[in-house]
Structure 1
C-alpha cells in the first residue's frame, strides 16, 4: 500500500516560496484542494490551497508517485 512508503519530511526547504505551485484540475470552486510543487531538492511539496502560508509537507518523489498511482487505481474508493 502507498501509505507505508509515504514519509513526511522537513517542513521547509530553501527556495520553496519561489517555485511554481500547481492546483488539481479537479478542484472545485469551493476551494477544497491541495497544491503541489517540485522543490529544488527534488521532493514533492504539498500544501492546502486555502492556507498556503501554513505547514507544507514534503514527500520523496517515489512516495508521491505511489500515492498518485493509488488514487488512479481507485485504492481510496473513488
Structure 2
C-alpha cells in the first residue's frame, strides 16, 4: 500500500471552524488525519478495513 495520501476531503457536514477529520486516498485504502493538527500525521487503512468502518458507522454501531 502506498502511504502518500492524496485528495484529502473533509466531511460536507462540517462547519469551517469545527474540528473534524479528513480522509485521503492511498493505493489500496484510505488515510485519516485530524484537521486541527494536520502536522501530527495520519493513519492508513486497507480498502476492506475502511469499508467495514463505513458499514459500522452507517449501521449506527458507535452510538
Q: What TM-score does the superposition give when structure 1 sets the normalisation length? A: 0.68
Which of 33, 46, 49 aligns to 2:20? It is 33
How many residues are treated as equivalent by the alignment? 62
- Where in structure 1 do 4 or more consecutive aligned residues deviate above 4 Å? none
> What is the Cα-based RMSD across aligned positions, in Å?
1.8
Structure 1 residue 30 displacement after superposition: 3.8
The structure having more radius of gyration, on CA atoms, is 1
Length-normalised TM-score, structure 2: 0.81
Please state which structure has a larger fraction of its residues in helix. 2
Query: Larger relative contact order (C-alpha < 8 A, sep ≥ 6)?
Result: 1
